[in-house]
Amino acid sequence: MKWFKLLILFLCIYLCNCRECLEEIKHDDHCVYCEYSNKYICKPKYQYKNQTLSTITETQKYIFILKSITLEIQCKSTKNWYNFNVNDTDDSRNIKHVLFDDCQLPNNQQLILLFKQFNVNNVARLDILSQPKQMTHSNLTRHHLKGFQSVNNLVISNNFINNSMNDLLHDLTKLKRLKIINNELKEIPDNFFDKQIKLEILQIEKNDIKIIKKNLFNKLESLSDLQLIENNIMTIEDKSFDNLVLLKSINLKSNMIKILSDNIFLHQRNIETITLTLNEFSNKSLSSKLLINKNKLVTFHLNENRKNLTTLPNKFLANLHELKVVYINDNNLIYLPEDLFLNSTNIKHIFLQQNNLNVLPIGIFLNLKSLEKIDLSKNQIEIIPRNLFDDLSSLEELNLQGNKIYKIEMKAFIGPKNLQTVNLAFNNLTLSSSSNKTPFEDLINIRNLDLSNNKISQLIQDLKELKKLLTLNLAFNEFKILNMHEFIFTSELIYIDMSDNKIKNISFDHIDEIYWPDIIKRIIQIKLSGNPLNCNCNINTLLLYLKEKLKQKDKNSIILNVNNLICDEPKELQGSFVEGLDSSYINCPIVDNNIVNTPVNNAANSSVNNPSNKPNYNADKSVNNTSNNIANNNDDKNSDTSSNKWLIGSCIFLSVISILCCVVIVIYHFYHHEIKIWLYDKKLCLWWVTEYEVEKSKNYDAFISYSDKDRDFVINNLINKLENGGQYKLCVHYRDWPAGEWIPDQVIRSVINSKRTVVILSKNFLSSEWAKLEFRTAYCHAMKNNKKKVIIVIYGDVPSADLLDDELREYLYMNTYVKWGDPWFWQKLKYALPHCR
């Protein structure tokens, strides 16, 4: 009987494990190999989008994947293809795409014969991928591809193509797309593409081709996209592209090309994109005639040529009337000719970053009135001259980060009136001027100005007069003292980053004398983290300000963000967080005082005891204790209360009541928010859980702040639900904002006129500058009124808190939020929204 039990046990294990294999198939669209049964098993008649997956069981190591109109065969070991047989293939689908993955090619056998068992007839796409490299005796040949005459899309990747196989593609006359990737191809025979007259897209990538011969592409007159990427090409013979008259895009990226002939693109009059990135061009290898008459060229790439390319030919990119985007970054360019972009007046973006440019010719941007963005970061520029940007009336973004700029001439920005973002970080600017003026006075539409990592030590007046400025970055500069009365900005809402300067003192002198030029309310937020603050007696005013105890005019217009601001001095407070300090921690020594006698007068204090012998009492010269009630009371002595039989019972009863009260208080302390939400949802004890109607004058119950990419979610899931039945009145962009008004004005008005601001926090929200502006406005308004008026609704996955803005991270740490998908989502949200009795 023992052997019988072992047999039963073995069968149970076998069946259970194979059941696990079948269970796995339930969640996958393909077959799996069950090692316990040594079989690949596909779930019978498994439905995938109304298509049937045929039943296949094979003892050999294949995986068959039938998905919609695609058949994929994956091989896991060497296979004798003559024994290849698939039973029960009653699938009647018309297979259009065949993928042959990681399989050794059969010798002297057509691949089409293997696929006939799957009713494969008119294949449109064929992929032959990842042939194992240890099987080098079998190259891809014309014989393998016979029978695929209907194929118009062929991918050959990680295979071996012998250089002598010049007839490999001769039976595939209908090809329109061809990819030959990573096949160790060293040379392409002249007649390799002779039968592919319909070919439109050709990609040859990651091979070892040294030369492109002039007759190679002669028959490809229909070709529109040619990609010769990462092939180690050194030479392209003249006239190689002459017959490619319909070519719209050519990519020669990541080769070793050192020279191109003047006429190499002569016949490509329809070319729209040229990419010459990552080659080895020098000053003499590119001709000024290379791009002549390329009137349809839109995008040009000539970047990351780090060998000997120090300049470009005169008029190299001139007279290209459709040119929109130019990439000539990451080269070794030292000088550019003044006529480089002559008459190419429709250029919108120019990328020149990471070169070695020291000086730009005054007329290099002449007449580029459509130019919207210039990136000149990480060069060696030292001076921005007066007339460099005069013609750039459409310029919106200018990046000069990481240069050596120490001087910007006055009126340098008078031309680009539409400039909204300027990045001057990591330069040598001081902005010191006897007239207290800088070139920034002409930036009338500037929104974002980055002056971080410079040598600025004072706040210049014309920065304060930029009416549309939203962010001013002055981090990592030379500021040593912060005078609060100097922060009189005309911008209605501005965020100033003063972090990581050398600020030791924050002065509130004359703060009551701040004069705002008009009645518009302003919100100025200043970030101060990373400064070596001296927490001496002078910091007491700052502590009062932070606790809103300092009486001053317009005190809520300036908000100091002291998150992570740490004391550097004195030694006993070194490392302490400023926001956690109290005035009692501050010692204020009295220097050079003349106090020599400190008499103590305790007369008429109604004291009943003598003062105890505390330290320093021996320094008192006289003590007056007259007119007090000091006495020696010994009337009650040797009392006996053991006869009181109710005392113990009363004590026990009161103790139990006290413990129960403590338990209730503790539960309420930790769960009071959930308790109130439950009561409000059940409409119980509303006198306790509802708020008073103190904001009846406001027009809206809530302003919904969200990214426009989340609009469908907001409209379909939030607005319709909350406004149904007139329960809430909401303010939303697309419906309630007047057309044509300035957006920051509408943001401020919407926040002020709403009882709450609901922020839909998502990845799209974090990537939207306008959405973050709305949150910052609501955040500052809530801090001013010391009320929790901002409701965060987390929608989808958002980055970790460490990657969020300081204000948003602080608000999430200090306040509760609602997450979409929470079973209590609607109860929590409605409780957080305004509600009255």
Q: What is the pLDDT of residue 469?
A: 93
Q: Contact, 438 vs 460, CB < 8 A?
A: yes
Confidence band of 533 (pLDDT split at 50, 70, 90): very high
DSSP letter at 340 equals T
Residue 474 exposure: Cα atoms within 13 Å on the Cβ side: 25
Task: Name the more confident of 25 and 462.
Answer: 462
Q: What is the pLDDT of residue 57?
A: 35
Q: Contact, 412 vs 441, CB < 8 A?
A: no
**Which has the minimum average pLDDT: 254-268, 330-344, 705-719?**
705-719
Q: Contact, 139 vs 161, CB < 8 A?
A: yes
If DSSP codes are grouped into helix, strand and coil, which group holds residue 490? Answer: coil
> Could you tell me which of 549, 538, 579 has the C-alpha nearest to residue 561?
579
Q: What is the pLDDT of residue 760?
A: 87
**Which has the minimum average pLDDT: 10-14, 260-264, 543-547?**
10-14
Calculate what percentage of the chain has a pLDDT beyond 90: 37
Alpha helices in 28-141 (DSSP H): 111-115
For 691-832, CATH number out of 3.40.50.10140, 2.60.120.560, 3.30.70.20, 3.40.605.10 equals: 3.40.50.10140
Task: Name the more confident of 636 and 298.
Answer: 298
> Could you tell me which of 98, 103, 150, 143 has the C-alpha nearest to residue 119?
98
One DSSP character per residue, 798-829 reads ---GGGS-HHHHHHHHHS--EETT-TTHHHHH
Q: Contact, 126 vs 155, CB < 8 A?
A: yes
DSSP letter at 655 equals H
274 vs 267: CA distance, rounded Å:
14
pLDDT reading at 823 higher than 80: yes
Q: Contact, 97 vs 72, CB < 8 A?
A: no
pLDDT tens by residue, 198-239: 999 999 999 999 999 999 999 999 999 999 999 999 999 999
Q: Contact, 543 vs 535, CB < 8 A?
A: no
Residue type, 376: L
First to last CA, the chain: 80
Mean pLDDT, to the nearest integer, of 615-634? 54
pLDDT reading at 511 higher than 50: yes
Q: What is the pLDDT of residue 682?
A: 53
Q: Where are the domains of the chain?
A: 479-585, 656-689, 691-832
Q: Contact, 294 vs 265, CB < 8 A?
A: yes
Residue 729 exposure: Cα atoms within 13 Å on the Cβ side: 10
Q: What is the pLDDT of residue 593?
A: 56
Q: Contact, 525 vs 487, CB < 8 A?
A: no
Q: Is residue 714 classed exposed, middle or buried when 0-12, 13-18 and 19+ CB atoms within 10 A define those classes?
A: buried
Q: Contact, 471 vs 449, CB < 8 A?
A: yes
648 vs 630: CA distance, rounded Å:
36
Residue listed under structure tokens 């009059």: 269
Q: Strand 273-275 to strand 299-301: parallel, antiparallel, or no bridges (unpaired)? A: parallel
727 vs 708: CA distance, rounded Å:
25
pLDDT reading at 23 higher than 50: no
Q: What is the pLDDT of residue 788?
A: 66
Confidence band of 47 (pLDDT split at 50, 70, 90): very low
Distinct helix (H) and strand (E) counts, the chain: 15, 41
Mean pLDDT, to the nearest integer, of 585-598? 60
pLDDT reading at 359 higher than 80: yes
Helix, strand, coil % over all residues of the chain, rounded to 5: 25, 20, 60
Mean pLDDT, to the nearest integer, of 328-354? 96
Q: Strand 39-41 to strand 32-34: parallel, antiparallel, or no bridges (unpaired)? A: antiparallel
Confidence band of 676 (pLDDT split at 50, 70, 90): low
Task: Name the more confident of 576 and 637.
Answer: 576
**Which has the minimum average pLDDT: 506-510, 524-528, 629-633, 653-657?**
629-633
Residue listed under structure tokens 């009650």: 636
One DSSP character per residue, 594-643 reads ------EE-TTS---SPPP--TTGGG-S-EE--S--------S-S---TT
pLDDT reading at 448 higher than 90: yes
41 vs 56: CA distance, rounded Å:
7
Phi, psi for 482 (deg, rounded to 5): -115, 110
> Could you tell me which of 799, 765, 792 has the C-alpha nearest to residue 778?
792
Task: Name the more confident of 196 and 641.
Answer: 196
Facing residues of 434 across strands?
none
Confidence band of 84 (pLDDT split at 50, 70, 90): low
Mean pLDDT, to the nearest integer, of 589-602? 57
Give me the chain's average pLDDT, please.
79
Q: What is the pLDDT of residue 21?
A: 40
Q: What is the pLDDT of residue 275?
A: 97
Q: Strand 523-527 to strand 818-819: parallel, antiparallel, or no bridges (unpaired)? A: unpaired
Q: What is the pLDDT of residue 268?
A: 94
List the beta strands (DSSP E) in 103-237.
125-129, 153-157, 177-181, 201-205, 211-212, 225-229, 235-236
CA 435 to chain centre: 41
Task: Name the more confident of 655 and 441.
Answer: 441
pLDDT reading at 404 higher than 80: yes
Q: What is the pLDDT of residue 613?
A: 54
Sequence-distant (≥ 6) Cβ neighbours of residue 76 within 8 angstroms = 33, 61, 62, 63, 102
Sequence-distant (≥ 6) Cβ neighbours of residue 646 within 8 angstroms = none
**Which has the minimum average pLDDT: 127-141, 609-623, 646-660, 708-722?**
609-623
One DSSP character per residue, 217-277 reads TTT-TT--EEEEESS---EE-TTTTTT-TT--EEE--SS------TTTTTT-TT--EEE--
Q: Contact, 342 vs 365, CB < 8 A?
A: no
Q: Strand 70-75 to strand 533-534: parallel, antiparallel, or no bridges (unpaired)? A: unpaired
Mean pLDDT, to the nearest integer, of 614-639? 54
Calculate what percentage of the chain has a pLDDT beyond 70: 73
pLDDT tens by residue, 62-82: 677 777 788 888 775 555 565
Facing residues of 671 across strands?
none
pLDDT tens by residue, 545-579: 887 755 544 544 788 888 889 998 888 888 888 88
pTM greater than 0.75 (yes/no): no
34 vs 18: CA distance, rounded Å:
6
Tell me the C-alpha to C-alpha distance, in Å, between residue 678 and each of 14, 396, 666, 824: 53, 52, 18, 10
519 vs 517: CA distance, rounded Å:
7
Q: Contact, 405 vs 424, CB < 8 A?
A: yes
Task: Name the more confident of 40 and 708.
Answer: 708
Task: Name the more confident of 738 and 264.
Answer: 264
pLDDT reading at 614 higher than 60: no
> Could you tell me which of 225, 246, 250 has the C-alpha nearest to residue 236?
250
Q: What is the pLDDT of residue 96?
A: 87
pLDDT reading at 108 higher than 80: no
Q: Contact, 297 vs 270, CB < 8 A?
A: no
Residue listed under structure tokens 């859980």: 689
Q: What is the pLDDT of residue 321?
A: 95
762 vs 785: CA distance, rounded Å:
26
479-585: CATH number: 3.80.10.10
The C-alpha angle with vertex 236 and arms to 231 and 238, in degrees rounded to 5, equals 165
**Lookup: tokens for 789:** 């008026």
If DSSP codes are grouped into helix, strand and coil, which group holds residue 777? Answer: helix
Residue type, 699: N
One DSSP character per residue, 409-478 reads -TTTTSS-TT--EEE--SS------TTS--GGGG-TT--EEE--SS---S--HHHHT-TT--EEE--SS-
List the beta strands (DSSP E) in 686-819.
700-705, 730-731, 754-761, 790-794, 818-819
Confidence band of 515 (pLDDT split at 50, 70, 90): low
Q: What does R_g of the chain's alpha carbons equal in angstroms? A: 39
Task: Name the more confident of 671 and 409.
Answer: 409
pLDDT reading at 624 higher than 70: no
Q: Contact, 166 vs 172, CB < 8 A?
A: no
One DSSP character per residue, 523-584 reads EEEEE-TT--EE-SGGGHHHHHHHTT----TTGGGEEEE-TT-BEEESGGGTT-BGGG--GG
Mean pLDDT, to the nearest integer, of 711-730? 83
621 vs 829: CA distance, rounded Å:
67
